[in-house]
């Protein structure tokens, strides 16, 4: 584990993978996944990409405000 990471770093990833596996098994059995599990959607991913793109455009514009297109 890289130095400087807080306790629980690895456990956080274990929880993500465990929830993804549970959702996959539920789908395989034609069931709904646990409602307490909130997985990111494609729209969430797109919003993240748009944010990073805006950060890069802002950097190239001498740190000016830009719109989230």
Residue spans of the domains in the chain: they are 1-31, 40-69
Structure pTM?
A: 0.57
Q: Are 34 and 47 in contact (CB under 8 A)?
A: no
Q: What distance in Å separates the CA atoms of residue 23 and residue 13, rounded to the nearest whole number?
A: 15
pLDDT digits (tens, 9 = 90+) for 3-48: 676 778 888 889 889 988 998 999 999 998 888 877 788 999 999 9
CA angle 5, 51, 36 (to 5 degrees): 60
């Amino acid at each position: 584990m890289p130095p400087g990471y807080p306790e629980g770093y690895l456990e956080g990833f274990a929880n993500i993978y465990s929830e993804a596996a549970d959702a996959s098994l539920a789908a395989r059995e034609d069931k709904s996944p646990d409602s307490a599990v909130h997985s990111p959607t494609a729209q969430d991913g797109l919003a993240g990409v748009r944010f990073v793109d805006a950060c890069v455009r802002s950097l190239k514009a001498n740190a000016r405000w830009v719109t989230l297109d």
